[in-house]
Amino acid sequence: MALCHKTLIGFLLFMAVLLVSARSEAPTAYEMLEKFNFPKGILPEGVKGYKLHEDGSFEVHLSGPCNFNVDGGYSLSYRSKISGQVSLGSLKKLQGVSVKILFIWIGITEVSRAEDQLDFFVGPLAASFPLSNFDECPTCGCGLNCANPIADA
């Protein structure tokens, strides 16, 4: 009887290890972006989690709001929850990401990839940037230029 008990405990420990390792192998939000043909650098560092539903709708959760400046004089703002619809090379119905143009904050509603460019849509307007601009994840408060941080709002 003691042998069966030890075998059962061993089996349960083995299953627990398998479950933990299976959970740790789940792709990160950054890895999921790359699976949809986007660079990881369109999200700031510090993603706490995400949900991707079968219909392509998603939610990404940051530890809090995130603001930073990027080259070209733009400021970006991410809410603590970002949502939208993802498919290969396309992010649509985005909510939670805004860009400051002149003195006005405007929501980025769509991002699409066309070869080595990313197209960002703000209402009816679009701007294209080289894919290489998004190789690294920006840091909240200072973006890619952490020598000159801005305050998170």
Q: What is the pLDDT of residues 71-122, one digit of tens each?
A: 878 899 999 999 999 999 999 999 999 999 888 999 999 999 999 999 999 9
Task: List the CATH number of the domain containing 58.
Answer: 2.30.240.10
Nearest Cα to 77, choosing from 47, 120, 108? 108
User: Does 125 map to a domain?
Assistant: yes
Residues 92/85, Cβ–Cβ less than 8 Å = yes
pLDDT (tens digit, 9 = 90+) per residue, 128-153? 999 999 999 999 998 988 865 454 44
pLDDT (tens digit, 9 = 90+) per residue, 42-74? 999 999 999 999 999 999 999 999 999 888 788
User: Does 59 map to a domain?
Assistant: yes
Q: Structural domain tally of the chain? A: 1
- Does the pTM of the predicted model rise above 0.85? no
For residues 71 and 99, what is the distance between their CA atoms, to the nearest angstrom?
A: 12
Nearest Cα to 100, choosing from 65, 74, 125? 74
Residues 149/75, Cβ–Cβ less than 8 Å = no
| Max Cα distance, the chain (Å) | 77
User: Does 148 map to a domain?
Assistant: no
